[in-house]
A and B are shown apart, each in its own frame.
Chain A
């Protein structure tokens, strides 16, 4: 576009009527405005980094990075404060793994069905259902996990100790349901990008539809599917309301999903509710945990963006 405009302006020996009769200052003003708008998103990223770094530097000056990252006791707002972040990390890990156990098979199953099996009409009626599932506020998911799923599990627990009122299991399960649409729609995009000739070739060799799906389409779309899963992981790590409501607020270094535990996001939310004074160590912990969360999800996102790009390049 800009290149074309430049060429028009530079056309040698152009007749008089092609010359500008008025100055194009309005065009330039628009250009400046557009660049300014595009810079807002860059400023957002800079803003996030600027918001995180100074309090975190001050925090590590007081606490020490080693104590933060390897400590097993997290009670930053009590006396004496302890700043070992591991309980929050393991809780995040437990909830994420449970969510993925639900979301990966169900999301990929839904994607294969929608892309390889479903007819037009079925697709047309099922995709909006997935969209509604994706549009439900997470506070509602959390409410459902705490007030419906957990009591259900407690009533029907097959043996041993039933789950606590706050537990990682129902939070993780509901979070998994929440992530299904994310994984399903991205994986379906990847599978739809596999050229039809591959399917036709496999069919011509006598493959059944299941063989076409699992041995041809699935491997061909693998990088896109992995990207979908990675994005699902980053959604699970970053999700706040479900865990804040249903998984409880007690930092707890355990891998038992039936117990209550506090994730990184749930801690940030809980600490943010209390009106901590700017500059206090308690206030700075929000930023330290936030930076850790941001760093983890940033790495996940970059991997996912990379993988999506790769599968797009293959079949265009």
Chain B
């Protein structure tokens, strides 16, 4: 990384001033630090709160038992955990290939001067910022009722994969763009076709970057609840999904369900489930950061 002027500011500059740093400067710097500190403190407070609240319920009942409205002390989130695994695996299955292929098209094949390619690009940027509940409306109106797929794992994972598709595309494009042109030219000059060049040279070099983006996209899908509310995820489910045609619930929805109950036991239960969800997400995030740090290729 290129050091900015600020970071490489030589100490002589301050020594040249007669008196120390003016008060205004100090307050400014303090203010900047404070604005970061609010975020950090909030995060610490949130994590402490859910762990303390959820501590009594962080036992094996949480993942071996099914939801129970009558007896919260024996309720668990097994159907939500298996549902999450089902929905997210199917989401990965649909959105990762589509996203990577779109990125290859836009970076390696598309002619930038054509209006339709520019339109596709703007469209993807725009989709990235469409509210998730609107994807829920799409899932409800077109996939669930329009195509008649119903309130199933299939509908949920199709909806979520459309939701996170822009993230996969944008991060894969960045990974492909980071592969230098000379690698492609060398491959083409040896007589490889365009697809051979992409498959054997560009893709292997771009895989770490793509994996990082994909993990971040899937962790977004794991935490997403709003669109699934419209797709019947809130239904009271006491069985594990058996296939893509199955009804489902997922962890964030189960948490939402428990939050809506007023009894204190349910608050503890929700906190415990939140801890489980956050642990999964933290593991995925660290994996993404690790991947990025270890496999970033310097050409």
B5 and A210 form a contact (CB under 8 A): no
Check A116 for interface membership: any CB of B closer than 8 A.
yes
Contact with A along B18-38 (1 / 0, CB 8 A): 000110110011011111101
CB distance from A77 to the nearest CB of B (A): 15
Which of A34, A118, A273 has a CB less than 8 Å from the CB of B229? Answer: A273
Interface size class of B (residues with CB under 8 A): 35 or more
Cα of A36 to Cα of B101 in the assembled complex, Å: 9
Output the nearest chain A residue to B222 by Cβ-Cβ distance: A137
Q: Using known A-B contacts A37-B102, A203-B9, determine if residue A268 contacts B127 with beta carbons closer than 8 Å.
A: no
Q: Using known A-B contacts A27-B193, A35-B105, A129-B39, determine if residue A269 contacts B230 with beta carbons closer than 8 Å.
A: yes
A287 and B134 form a contact (CB under 8 A): no
Which of A26, A37, A130, A140 has a CB less than 8 Å from the CB of B39? Answer: A130
A48 and B134 form a contact (CB under 8 A): yes
Contact with B along A36-73 (1 / 0, CB 8 A): 11101110110110111001000000000000000000
Central interface residue in A26, A37, A107, A293, by most chain B CB within 10 Å: A37
Contacts of A45 in B (CB 8 A): 123, 126-127
Q: Using known A-B contacts A140-B50, A245-B256, determine if residue A196 contacts B281 with beta carbons closer than 8 Å.
A: no
Interface residues of B in 143-201 (CB under 8 A from A): 145-146, 162, 165-166, 169, 188, 193-195
B278 and A52 form a contact (CB under 8 A): no
Which of A5, A31, A113, A137 has a CB less than 8 Å from the CB of B33? Answer: A113
Central interface residue in A35, A36, A136, by most chain B CB within 10 Å: A136
Q: Using known A-B contacts A27-B193, A34-B104, A290-B134, determine if residue A1 contacts B6 with beta carbons closer than 8 Å.
A: no
Interface size class of A (residues with CB under 8 A): 35 or more
Check A298 for interface membership: any CB of B closer than 8 A.
yes
Cα of A199 to Cα of B3 in the assembled complex, Å: 12
The 3 A-B pairs with the shortest beta carbon distances in the complex, nearest first, are A238-B131, A109-B35, A137-B223
Residues of B in contact with A (beta carbons under 8 Å apart): 1-7, 9, 13, 21-22, 24-25, 28-29, 31-36, 38-40, 42-43, 45-46, 49-50, 53, 97-99, 101-102, 104-106, 108-111, 119-120, 122-127, 129-138, 140-142, 145-146, 162, 165-166, 169, 188, 193-195, 216, 219-220, 222-226, 229-230, 232, 234, 252, 255-256, 259-260, 267, 270-271, 274, 277-278, 281-282, 285, 289
Residues of A in contact with B (beta carbons under 8 Å apart): 1-5, 24, 26-27, 30-31, 33-38, 40-42, 44-45, 47-48, 50-52, 55, 105-110, 112-120, 126, 128-133, 135-140, 142-144, 146-148, 177, 180-181, 192, 196, 199-200, 203, 208-210, 212-214, 231, 234-235, 237-241, 244-245, 265, 268-269, 272-273, 275, 278, 286-287, 290, 293-294, 297-298, 300-302, 304-305
